[in-house]
Each structure stands twice: as structure tokens, then as C-alpha cells.
């Protein structure tokens, strides 16, 4: 084998890495410590790398290293979503900095680039934690450096050694992070990174990429994780289509339709405006979803994939911004294939911004210029309405199930006609992407500024928005809002997607769980009991107001009944019930 | 030395009966409640008013009628040489404008209408100041000028228990519009000079009270020479809930050591737009002779 690689090799290797990650994303999602339905590390990392792969794929075969690097890092930076996605984008950014000035890469240059990647990624995280993707990356980089110093020349053993060592570090992550050990999993972000590296190696070796390999055998993980990984696909067909509505859905129809979809599958995404409704569902009987949808209008852009036969899974659906991106699992000839993404750009949803290929100046959502504007991220029409009512100019309806990318946030901020845009991520997994958007806004240099208020939950975001004082300086507002968010306690109720153990609490698949700011606050088989149990723990003597935001799966009467129960128990507190409409989370509760 | 009479209206929180003890005249504010006219402090108590408000009665306020005002002026001028009339802030009511217009006709040099943007406890303080100035021998014009000198040197923050009445009244629209939301909020409004506006929002009473206290501390620091200067009167007001008011008084006095907060019920003109359960903190610059 050769001792160096050229830009065209790096391109192939990058695309293969991205493909491999894409193929393994559901499995990586399963490694999430919290058995919540939206454990989405795999999805976030995949969407991040795919954003770059889309650009890279269209580069010419004889692309130079500089242009390739630019496509990789700028695509990844823009598409970065979720903490693991942002870290991955930083790793790619650092790596490309290390190689962009060379036409051919040898072991020593690659080792240096790995080092640069790790350095860049560590800098992006405020409090780097060991036992995560960072640790795995660092391990791989150290090995690369060690081999390079020993005079490694042949790249094949060089890459193989790095990957072998990376896997070793990955398998040690449960020893470094007790939560991983208790849950019986390795770090999901670290696993994602290894999948990228393995895909790249396969391409280097000239292997025909084969995705039918037994995942559990191919990549060693802790034993319990293997057991769950093997049974992970409960619903076999990924089904997507757009309903051209004969008339707008009313709230009841929307709720009914969603409930129906939930009865036949999972991973449901349903977004409707007055004209169209986009549907995404994993089901064992896609025909049922289609028949039901025909009640509301004609169907278009239909796509059904058999997820159990993953090598056929070619379609990658970016639900948030309505862009379809396809990446060929066949590396050869990738450049010749016709890109099929952007096919539904001609029917964009209201309040959604098609992200790609948008060169024109964005239209402002507010016509009157102001000093300070607001962007908030949340899932659920009720919550979106609440944020708008509090003066938020642009609501990104992503949140827990669909983490918006750095570019989504940047784009939303660009559409707010204000000098300074406060961004409320309302989810701890979105804060990093928001911070990255802030940096990208600074890089644009057009005097517009993003300020991220690190709100980890929706109630924290509401509190921040409420505490905004018009007419006061950006700095005072930033300080005031940051201070205010510490006064609100949040609890969220969802269900467990698998058996696990967290904080010494045994959780069974299908159990309801109440999750507070610092861990599990209640587990059981009755939503109301679990919610009440959780509320007991977040309310204290100083609590004056308990707010219940009920999700799309909860009926108004059920929320009212729970409210009565809570009011009776805490007679000294006001209890307020609001429709949140959020998916996945039955109740989001705050105490302040 | 001319003999000066002092007249105010019930928006000062001084009821006609209290006025007698102070040696002044107080003209009652008229109310229409479900089509029946009442006079504040004469045949309408706070108790009755809030009961009717809670029952959803149709309540509207108006300024004292020009007829009643002229009648009182004429009566007083039989005994006194001059009148200092202190009506509700021109920023919130047209009664000041009406009175100024009336005074400019046949009462030139006899009736002095004070336009110093006061309401409730700050207006009450102006009345007390006027009495003091008169007792020191100042004439009507001098008293008016002195009071108007510190026209903009007052500050009021009011926390509402609910947005309901503010929205229902439709009168304080700019403030209400900025607070259109599904959530139950406790808005904090401010009155600086003639302007009534939204200041901040809170979800709980404790948050709202802290916002008011901090805003006032900052006003003391930035506008009134600091807490130790003791150059302002600190006062408070409330609608209907005395218990909450007393609790608030304790909290304010703890935050402003060395100050005693005078607390009055809010006048009904204000209460009718903000409803029961509101709390306010106010400061106005002391006058110096």
C-alpha cells in the first residue's frame, strides 16, 4: 500500500466515514444513557456529517486539498446539531486545518492533524468531560502521534492501529463515566466517531462498503448494549410523505392523526401548515399510514424504506428544514450521480426556512428594527405560541426530537431585524450549537450579535423571556436573564425506550419517567402518579407557582385532573395549566 | 399675607373626611357603576367597589364635573384669597387640563392649578407639602412653582396581580399590548413623570416585588442621591389586600433601612384599571424651602 493519500482519497474516505455513521445511527441512538425516546446522538452526528458530505460529494474527482477541507469543515459547522454533532464538527474543523496546506498526506501529517482536531474540539467545550467522544478522539490522536514518532510509513497498519486503540479507549469509557457503566453502554458520541474512522479505513482499503455486517460483532461494546442493539428495530419501514391538504387540519384532526400514527409505529414527525402536512413514521405497516393520510388530501413525495435491510437505506431525511439529502453508499461514481435533495423546496412550510442554497438576504420576520430580538427553540405548537406571546420574534420548532443545526439557529437569528439577538436554546443539547452560531455570526462581521442565554429547559426559556426588560442594555439583560433562570426548577415526564438503571433506580422499557434538572425524580407505570411524584420533589417551601405544560399525547381533561390533584396537595401554590403540544414529553412542569 | 386654600381630589388617597382634619378640601371622583353614579369617599367605599368589580360590574370613572369644581372654588373664595388646586396627573387624566382651562378664565391670579404629574401616595405628599409651604407663608403662585419644580422627580412601580383588568379596561393600551400572552403574568408597570408604561414582567409575587424593590434601589442610586441622602419620601400603595400590603411594607423597609414607608389604598381610578391585589412602591423628591 501507499505511504501517502491524496485529496481524492481523503474525499472517498470522508464520504465512506459519513455513510458508515449514517448506517449505524439508529444503533448509536440506542446507546444514550437516558432511555428517553429522543436519545439522538447518532441522528445528530449523522445530520452534522451529512451536511458536509452533501457538499463534498459534488466536488470534482480532481479536487484540491484546500477546497475539499473547506467543504468538509464549513458543511459540518453549518450542519452541526446536538452536543456530539458540534464536537464532531470541531474535530473535523481542527483536522482540516492540519491537512489543508498539503497535496499529499503522510502518517506524520495525519497524526498532527488528529492532534489539531482534538485541540480544537476540547476548546469548543466549556467543561470537557472524560469518558466521552473527546476522550476517544484524544486516544486516537495520541496513538497516531506515537506511531508517527516511531517512524510509521505504511498507512494501512497505521490506520488499523489507530482504530484498534480507539476501540480500546471507547471500551474503557464506562470506567470513566459511572452513568455509562450503570447503563451498560459505551459512550455514544465516541462510538459515532469510531464508525466514521472505520468507514474511512474501509474506503482506504478499497473495500466495497458492506452494511449487512453484524454490528454487534463488528464493534465491541459492553455486553448489555449488545443485547439491546440486536433488537433495536421495532418498526421496520421508514415511511415519509407529504399530504397536500384539501383543507387545513383543525387541532382535533391533527391530534387524531398523530395519535393514529403513534398507534402504528414510532419516530413520528408530523408538521402541518394550512396547505401541506409532512409525515414521517416508522411502522411495520406503512399502508395504514398512507390510507389514513388519504382522508386529508392527495399525497406526494412518498418514500418508504426497509430499515431492517440497512444497506438499502439511501435516503437521509433532514426533517427540520425540509431538505432531503441522499448520499450514495457506493463511493465510486458518487460525483456522477444526480443529487436528489432539495426536491421539495418549492413547497416550503410556513415558519420554516429551507437552509441549503439560500444565498439571498433573508426576509425579516419583524419589520420594525429593534435593539434586541429573540429566537427560541421548542417543540410543540402550544409552547411556540407561548414564546411568541412573550415577544419572541422567531421560534425554531425543533427542540428535543429535532435538534436544530448551527445553521438553523444562525438563519433564524439573521431573520430577526435587531442589532442583538438573544437565543434561548431551551435544551442542554442545543446550547453548543447556539454558541457555534454565535461565533459564525461574529465571523460574518455585519455588526449583528448573538447572545446565547444557556436555557436548558423550556421553563427556563420562558423565565428568561419574561425577565427581559426592554429599554435596558444587552449586558444588563443578559445578566438578569441568566440570574433568573436559576430560580426555576424543571421536571419532564416521558417514557423509557429500554430497560436500564440510572442513579440506582431500575427502569423498565415502557415505564414513565420524571426527569429533573439533576436526574431521575420518579419512575412508574402511571403518568399521573409519576408526574405527581416528580412534582413533590421539585416543589419546596419557597414555591409559589407550579406550571404544567401538557404535551400532544395528553388530553385537556387529563391535565385538568392532574392540576386539581396538585392544587389540593399544594394549597399555598398557584397551579397553572397550559397546552404545550410538545411530542415525547407528556408533561413539562416548572416550580418557582 | 393672602389666605390660601388647598384643594385636591380623592386620587390623592385623601378622602373628604380626612381633608377636614388636614384643613383642606377634597373633591370626590365620580364613578359610574352599572349606570349608577357614585362619589369616591362619599357613598362608595373600597369594600363596595371591589365587590362590584369582582362581580363583573361595568365600572367607568370620570373627572370631577366642572360644575362641581367651580361651585367649590366659588365657595372657598368667599373665605380665602387664593386657591391651590392639586388634581390627578395630567398624564393619566384630563382633569388637570380642564381645571387649568377653567382657572384661566375668571380665576386668573386666584386659582393656581398644580400640574406636577402626581398620583396616589406621591400626590398625597404634594398636598402635605403644599400645606407646609402655605404655613410657611407662601402664596398660591409660589406654592405652585415650588411643587412643579420637582415635577419629574418621582417614581412609581406597580405590580399587578392579574392582567385581566388592564386588558378589560382597554385604557392603558400601550402597556397592555406589550404584555399579550397566554401565561398568567404579574406585570410591573411604572409611572415616571406623566408616562405610564410596562416596566417588567414576573411570574410570581416574590419575583415581582423583588423587581420593584431593585428598580427603586436603582432609582435611589441614580436619581435621588443614594439611600443615605434621605432626600425623598418613600411610600407604598395597594389595592384591596391589606395583609399582603403590610408584608410588602416590611420587605421594603428592610431593603431601605432608615425609611418608613407610608402605605395607602390605591385610589379607585387606578384600581378600576388594575384590579385587586396590586402593590406599589413610590418615591418623590422632598421639597426644600
A68-100 pLDDT, tens per residue? 999 999 899 888 888 888 899 999 999 999 999
**Mean pLDDT on A358-374:** 74
Whether the predicted pLDDT of A228 surpasses 70: no
Say if the Cβ atoms of A544 and B184 lie within 8 Å: no
CA A428 to chain centre: 11
Instruction: Tell me the nearest-neighbour CA distance from B204 into chain A, angstroms.
Output: 6
Tell me the pTM.
Answer: 0.71
Instruction: Tell me the nearest-neighbour CA distance from B197 into chain A, angstroms.
Output: 11
Say if the Cβ atoms of B204 and A544 lie within 8 Å: yes
Residues 6+ apart with CB under 8 A from A447: A419
The answer to whether residues A572 and A542 touch, using CB atoms and an 8 Å cutoff, is no
Q: What is each CA distance from B146 to A142, A549, B6, B14, in whole angstroms? A: 80, 55, 14, 21
Spell out which residues of chain A touch residue B181, defining contact as CB-CB under 8 Å.
386, 389-390
Spell out which residues of chain B touch residue A577, defining contact as CB-CB under 8 Å.
none
pLDDT of residue A308: 67
Report how far residue A198's alpha carbon sits from residue A175's, in angstroms, rounded to the nearest whole number.
Answer: 23
Picking from A489, A543, A545, A580 by the largest number of B CB atoms within 10 A of its own CB, the best residue to mutate is A545
pLDDT in tens, B60-99: 888 888 889 999 999 999 999 999 999 998 887 888 888 9
Q: Domain boundaries in chain B?
A: 4-29+64-149, 154-285
Instruction: Tell me the nearest-neighbour CA distance from A83 into chain B, angstroms.
Output: 31
Report how far residue A486's alpha carbon sits from residue B240's, in angstroms, rounded to the nearest whole number.
Answer: 32
Say if the Cβ atoms of B183 and A576 lie within 8 Å: yes
- Here the cell at position A137 is 478522539
Assign residue A505 a region (left: φ > 0; alpha: ψ between -120 and 50; beta: otherwise).
beta
User: Using CB atoms, which residue from A389, A469, A470 is nearest to B182?
Assistant: A389
Say if the Cβ atoms of A574 and B180 lie within 8 Å: no
Average pLDDT over chain A reads 82
**Mean pLDDT on B223-240:** 93
**A with B: how many residue pairs have Cβ under 8 Å apart?**
43
User: Using CB atoms, which residue from A386, A466, A542 is nearest to B202?
Assistant: A466
pLDDT of residue B91: 81
**Are the folds of B4-29+64-149 and B154-285 the same?**
no
Report how far residue A501's alpha carbon sits from residue A182's, in angstroms, rounded to the nearest whole number.
Answer: 6
Instruction: Tell me the nearest-neighbour CA distance from B87 into chain A, angstroms.
Output: 30
pLDDT in tens, A248-281: 888 778 778 888 888 888 776 666 667 777 777 8
Q: Which of A440, A382, A379 minimizes the C-alpha distance to A413?
A: A440
Instruction: Tell me the nearest-neighbour CA distance from B210 into chain A, angstroms.
Output: 12
Task: Look up cell 420554516; give the residue.
Answer: A352
pLDDT in tens, A422-433: 999 999 889 999
Instruction: Tell me the nearest-neighbour CA distance from B97 into chain A, angstroms.
Output: 30
| First-to-final CA distance of chain A | 65
pLDDT of residue B197: 80
Spell out which residues of chain B touch residue A483, defining contact as CB-CB under 8 Å.
none
A348: pLDDT confidence band, cut at 50, 70 and 90? Answer: very low
The answer to whether residues A475 and A469 touch, using CB atoms and an 8 Å cutoff, is no
The DSSP secondary structure of B128-192, one letter per residue, reads: HHHHHHHHTT--HHHHHHHHHHTTT-EEEEEE-S-SHHHHHH-SSHHHHHTT--SS--EEEEEEE
Three-class SS of residue A317?
strand
CA A449 to chain centre: 24
Report how far residue A24's alpha carbon sits from residue A21's, in angstroms, rounded to the nearest whole number.
Answer: 5
pLDDT of residue A582: 92
CATH code of B4-29+64-149, in short, is: 3.40.50.10440
Report how far residue A64's alpha carbon sits from residue A71's, in angstroms, rounded to the nearest whole number.
Answer: 11
- Reported CATH class of domain B154-285: alpha beta
* Count of all residues that appear for chain A in the document: 592
Instruction: Tell me the nearest-neighbour CA distance from B92 into chain A, angstroms.
Output: 22
- Here the cell at position A27 is 444503533
Q: A512 versus B193: which is more confidently predicted?
A: A512
CA B143 to chain centre: 19
pLDDT of residue B171: 54
Spell out which residues of chain A touch residue B207, defining contact as CB-CB under 8 Å.
484, 487, 592
Task: Look up cell 399530504; give the residue.
Answer: A243
Spell out which residues of chain A touch residue B205, defining contact as CB-CB under 8 Å.
544
Say if the Cβ atoms of A389 and B185 lie within 8 Å: no
* Count of all residues that appear for chain B in the document: 289
Backbone angles phi, psi at B115, to 5 degrees: -115, 85
Report how far residue B183's alpha carbon sits from residue B187's, in angstroms, rounded to the nearest whole number.
Answer: 11
pLDDT in tens, A509-524: 889 999 999 889 999 9
Helices marked H in A396-523 — which ranges?
Answer: 406-414, 431-444, 458-466, 474-485
Report how far residue B50's alpha carbon sits from residue B56's, in angstroms, rounded to the nearest whole number.
Answer: 10
Closest Cα in chain B to A487: B207
Report how far residue B239's alpha carbon sits from residue B237's, in angstroms, rounded to the nearest whole number.
Answer: 7
The answer to whether residues A215 and A27 touch, using CB atoms and an 8 Å cutoff, is yes
Instruction: Tell me the nearest-neighbour CA distance from A362 into chain B, angstroms.
Output: 26
Residues 6+ apart with CB under 8 A from A552: A255, A258, A380, A581, A582, A583
User: Using CB atoms, which residue from A390, A467, A544 is nearest to B181?
Assistant: A390
pLDDT in tens, A94-127: 999 999 999 999 999 999 999 999 999 988 777 7
Backbone angles phi, psi at A462, to 5 degrees: -60, -45
Picking from A374, A389, A550 by the largest number of B CB atoms within 10 A of its own CB, the best residue to mutate is A389
Report how far residue A446's alpha carbon sits from residue A250's, in angstroms, rounded to the nearest whole number.
Answer: 42
A336: pLDDT confidence band, cut at 50, 70 and 90? Answer: very low
Q: Using only the alpha carbons of chain B, give its radius of gyration.
A: 19
**Mean pLDDT on B129-135:** 95
Query: Kind of pairing, strands B186-192 and B195-202?
Result: antiparallel
The answer to whether residues A494 and A34 touch, using CB atoms and an 8 Å cutoff, is no
The answer to whether residues A47 and A318 touch, using CB atoms and an 8 Å cutoff, is yes
Three-class SS of residue A449?
strand
Instruction: Tell me the nearest-neighbour CA distance from A454 into chain B, angstroms.
Output: 20
Spell out which residues of chain B touch residue A547, defining contact as CB-CB under 8 Å.
183, 203
Task: Look up cell 400626590; give the residue.
Answer: B123
B164: pLDDT confidence band, cut at 50, 70 and 90? Answer: confident
Q: How many CA atoms lie within 13 A of A172 on its CB side?
A: 12
DSSP B40: B
Spell out which residues of chain A touch residue B183, defining contact as CB-CB under 8 Å.
386, 389-390, 462, 466, 547, 576, 578
**Mean pLDDT on A394-420:** 86
**Mean pLDDT on A541-553:** 93
Q: Is B203 on the interface with A (CB under 8 A)?
A: yes
Say if the Cβ atoms of B185 and A544 lie within 8 Å: no
Whether the predicted pLDDT of A347 surpasses 50: no
Whether the predicted pLDDT of A313 surpasses 50: no
Report how far residue B155's alpha carbon sits from residue B192's, in angstroms, rounded to the nearest whole number.
Answer: 5
Whether the predicted pLDDT of A389 surpasses 90: no
Instruction: Tell me the nearest-neighbour CA distance from B165 into chain A, angstroms.
Output: 18
Whether the predicted pLDDT of B131 surpasses 60: yes
Report how far residue A357's alpha carbon sits from residue A118's, in angstroms, rounded to the nearest whole number.
Answer: 31
Q: Is B202 on the interface with A (CB under 8 A)?
A: yes
Say if the Cβ atoms of B201 and A576 lie within 8 Å: no
Say if the Cβ atoms of A578 and B182 lie within 8 Å: yes
Closest Cα in chain A to B211: A467
Whether the predicted pLDDT of A352 surpasses 80: no
Report how far residue B216's alpha carbon sits from residue B210's, in angstroms, rounded to the nearest whole number.
Answer: 10
Percent of chain A with pLDDT over 70: 84
The answer to whether residues A520 and A514 touch, using CB atoms and an 8 Å cutoff, is yes
Q: At what angle do helices A107-124 and A133-149 cross, to 10 degrees?
A: 150
Say if the Cβ atoms of A463 and B203 lie within 8 Å: yes
User: Using CB atoms, which residue from A391, A469, A545 is nearest to B204?
Assistant: A545
- Here the cell at position B77 is 373664595
**Which long-range contacts does A30-33 make (Cβ < 8 Å, 24+ apart)?**
A30/A225, A30/A228, A30/A229, A30/A232, A30/A497, A30/A498, A31/A185, A31/A186, A31/A187, A31/A188, A31/A191, A31/A221, A31/A225, A32/A185, A32/A188, A33/A179, A33/A180, A33/A183, A33/A185, A33/A500, A33/A502
Whether the predicted pLDDT of A435 surpasses 90: yes
Say if the Cβ atoms of A592 and B207 lie within 8 Å: yes
Report how far residue A56's alpha carbon sits from residue B164's, in angstroms, rounded to the nearest whole number.
Answer: 57
Q: What is each CA distance from A413 to A36, A89, A396, A477, B52, in whole angstroms? A: 30, 21, 10, 18, 48
Q: Which of A6, A3, A83 minimizes the C-alpha distance to A39?
A: A83
The answer to whether residues B14 and B26 touch, using CB atoms and an 8 Å cutoff, is yes
Give buried/exposed letters for A237-246 (b at 16+ CB in 10 A, else e). Answer: bbbbbbbebe
Three-class SS of residue A149?
helix
CA A248 to chain centre: 29
The answer to whether residues B16 and B10 touch, using CB atoms and an 8 Å cutoff, is yes
Residues 6+ apart with CB under 8 A from A461: A376, A377, A378, A387, A424, A425, A426, A453, A455
Closest Cα in chain A to B206: A544
B146: pLDDT confidence band, cut at 50, 70 and 90? Answer: very high
Q: Which of A529, A585, A587 minimizes the C-alpha distance to A556?
A: A587
Q: Is B222 on the interface with A (CB under 8 A)?
A: no
Strand partners, B44: B40
The DSSP secondary structure of A166-218, one letter per residue, reads: HHHHHHHHHHH-HHHHHHT---HHHHHHHHHHHHHHHHHTTPPP-TTS-HHHH
Q: Which of A67, A68, A88 minimizes the C-alpha distance to A77?
A: A88
User: Using CB atoms, which residue from B185, B199, B205 is nearest to A466?
Assistant: B185
Amino acid at each position: 500500500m501507499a505511504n501517502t493519500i491524496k485529496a481524492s482519497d481523503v474525499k472517498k474516505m470522508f464520504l465512506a466515514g459519513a455513510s458508515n455513521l449514517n448506517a449505524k445511527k439508529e444503533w448509536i441512538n440506542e446507546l444514550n444513557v437516558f432511555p428517553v425516546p429522543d436519545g439522538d446522538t447518532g441522528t445528530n452526528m449523522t445530520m452534522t456529517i451529512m451536511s458536509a458530505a452533501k457538499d463534498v460529494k459534488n466536488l470534482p474527482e480532481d479536487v484540491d486539498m484546500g477546497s475539499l477541507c473547506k467543504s468538509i469543515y464549513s458543511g459540518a459547522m453549518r450542519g452541526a446539531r446536538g452536543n456530539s454533532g458540534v464536537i464532531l464538527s470541531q474535530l473535523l474543523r481542527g483536522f482540516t486545518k492540519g491537512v489543508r496546506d498539503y497535496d499529499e498526506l503522510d502518517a506524520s501529517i495525519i497524526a498532527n492533524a488528529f492532534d489539531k482536531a482534538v485541540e480544537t474540539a476540547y476548546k469548543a467545550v466549556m467543561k470537557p468531560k472524560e469518558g466521552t467522544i473527546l476522550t476517544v478522539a484524544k486516544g486516537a490522536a495520541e496513538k497516531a502521534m506515537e506511531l508517527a514518532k516511531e517512524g510509521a510509513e505504511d498507512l494501512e497498519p497505521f490506520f488499523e492501529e489507530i482504530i484498534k486503540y480507539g476501540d480500546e479507549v471507547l471500551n474503557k469509557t464506562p470506567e470513566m463515566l459511572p452513568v455509562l457503566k450503570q447503563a451498560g453502554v459505551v459512550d455514544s458520541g465516541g462510538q459515532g466517531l469510531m464508525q466514521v474512522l472505520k468507514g474511512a479505513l474501509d474506503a482506504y482499503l478499497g473495500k466495497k462498503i458492506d452494511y449487512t455486517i453484524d454490528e454487534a460483532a463488528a464493534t465491541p461494546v459492553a455486553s448489555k448494549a449488545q443485547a439491546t442493539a440486536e433488537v433495536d428495530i421495532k418498526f421496520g419501514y421508514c415511511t415519509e410523505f407529504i399530504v397536500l391538504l384539501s383543507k387545513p387540519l383543525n387541532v382535533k384532526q391533527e391530534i387524531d392523526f398523530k395519535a393514529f400514527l403513534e398507534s402504528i409505529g414510532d419516530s413520528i414527525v408530523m408538521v402541518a401548515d394550512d396547505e401541506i402536512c409532512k409525515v414521517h413514521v416508522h411502522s411495520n405497516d406503512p399502508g395504514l399510514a398512507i390510507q389514513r393520510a388519504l382522508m386529508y388530501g392527495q399525497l406526494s413525495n412518498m418514500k418508504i424504506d426497509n430499515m431492517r435491510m440497512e444497506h438499502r437505506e439511501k435516503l437521509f431525511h433532514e426533517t427540520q428544514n425540509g431538505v432531503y439529502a441522499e448520499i450514495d453508499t457506493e463511493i465510486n461514481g458518487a460525483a456522477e450521480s444526480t443529487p436528489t435533495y432539495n426536491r421539495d423546496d418549492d413547497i416550503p412550510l410556513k415558519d420554516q426556512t429551507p437552509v441549503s442554497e439560500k444565498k439571498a438576504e433573508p426576509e425579516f420576520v419583524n419589520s420594525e428594527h429593534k435593539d434586541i430580538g429573540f429566537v427560541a427553540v421548542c417543540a410543540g405548537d402550544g409552547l411556540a405560541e407561548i414564546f411568541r406571546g412573550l415577544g419572541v420574534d422567531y421560534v425554531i420548532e425543533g427542540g428535543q426530537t429535532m435538534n436544530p443545526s448551527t445553521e438553523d439557529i444562525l438563519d433564524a437569528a439573521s431573520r430577526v431585524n435587531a442589532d442583538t439577538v438573544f437565543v434561548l436554546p431551551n435544551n442542554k443539547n442545543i446550547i453548543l450549537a447556539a454558541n457555534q452560531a454565535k461565533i459564525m455570526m461574529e465571523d460574518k462581521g455585519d455588526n449583528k450579535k448573538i447572545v446565547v442565554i444557556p436555557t436548558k429547559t423550556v421553563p427556563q426559556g420562558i423565565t428568561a423571556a419574561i425577565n427581559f426588560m426592554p429599554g435596558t442594555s444587552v449586558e444588563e439583560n443578559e445578566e438578569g436573564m441568566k440570574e433568573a433562570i436559576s430560580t426555576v426548577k424543571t421536571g419532564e415526564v416521558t417514557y423509557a425506550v429500554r430497560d436500564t438503571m440510572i442513579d440506582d433506580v431500575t427502569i423498565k422499557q415502557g415505564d414513565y419517567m420524571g426527569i429533573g434538572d439533576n436526574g431521575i425524580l420518579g419512575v412508574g407505570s402511571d403518568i399521573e402518579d409519576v408526574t405527581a411524584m416528580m412534582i413533590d420533589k421539585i416543589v419546596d417551601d419557597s414555591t409559589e407557582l407550579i406550571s404544567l405544560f401538557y404535551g400532544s399525547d395528553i388530553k385537556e381533561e387529563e391535565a385538568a385532573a392532574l392540576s386539581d390533584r396538585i392544587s389540593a396537595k399544594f394549597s399555598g401554590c398557584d397551579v397553572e395549566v397550559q397546552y404545550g403540544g410538545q411530542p415525547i414529553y407528556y408533561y413539562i412542569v416548572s416550580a418557582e | 399675607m393672602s389666605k390660601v386654600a388647598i384643594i385636591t381630589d380623592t386620587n390623592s388617597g385623601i378622602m373628604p373626611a380626612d381633608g377636614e382634619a388636614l384643613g383642606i378640601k377634597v373633591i370626590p371622583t365620580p364613578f359610574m357603576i352599572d349606570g349608577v353614579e357614585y362619589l369616591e369617599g362619599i357613598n362608595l367605599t373600597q369594600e363596595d367597589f371591589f365587590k362590584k368589580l369582582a362581580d363583573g360590574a361595568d365600572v367607568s370613572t370620570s373627572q370631577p364635573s366642572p360644575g362641581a369644581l367651580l361651585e367649590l372654588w366659588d365657595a372657598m373664595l368667599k373665605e380665602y384669597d387664593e386657591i391651590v388646586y392639586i388634581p390627578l396627573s395630567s398624564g393619566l387624566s384630563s382633569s388637570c387640563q380642564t381645571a387649568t382651562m377653567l382657572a384661566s378664565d375668571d380665576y386668573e391670579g386666584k386659582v393656581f392649578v398644580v400640574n406636577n404629574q402626581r398620583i396616589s401616595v406621591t400626590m398625597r405628599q404634594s398636598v402635605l407639602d403644599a400645606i407646609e409651604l402655605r404655613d410657611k407663608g407662601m402664596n398660591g403662585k409660589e406654592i405652585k412653582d415650588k411643587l412643579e419644580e420637582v415635577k419629574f422627580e418621582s417614581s412609581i412601580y406597580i405590580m399587578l396581580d392579574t392582567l385581566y383588568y388592564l386588558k378589560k379596561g382597554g385604557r392603558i393600551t400601550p402597556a397592555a399590548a406589550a404584555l399579550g400572552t397566554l401565561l398568567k403574568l404579574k406585570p410591573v408597570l411604572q409611572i415616571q413623570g406623566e408616562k405610564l408604561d410596562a416596566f417588567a414582567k414576573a411570574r410570581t409575587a416574590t419575583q415581582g416585588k423583588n423587581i420593584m424593590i431593585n428598580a427603586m434601589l436603582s432609582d435611589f442610586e441614580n436619581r435621588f442621591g443614594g439611600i443615605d441622602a434621605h432626600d425623598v419620601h418613600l411610600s407604598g400603595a395597594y389595592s384591596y389586600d391589606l395583609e399582603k400590603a403590610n408584608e410588602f411594607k416590611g420587605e421594603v423597609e428592610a431593603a431601605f433601612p432608615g425609611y418608613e414607608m407610608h402605605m395607602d389604598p390605591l385610589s379607585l381610578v387606578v384600581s378600576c384599571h388594575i384590579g385587586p391585589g396590586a402593590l406599589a412602591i413610590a418615591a418623590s423628591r422632598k421639597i426644600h424651602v
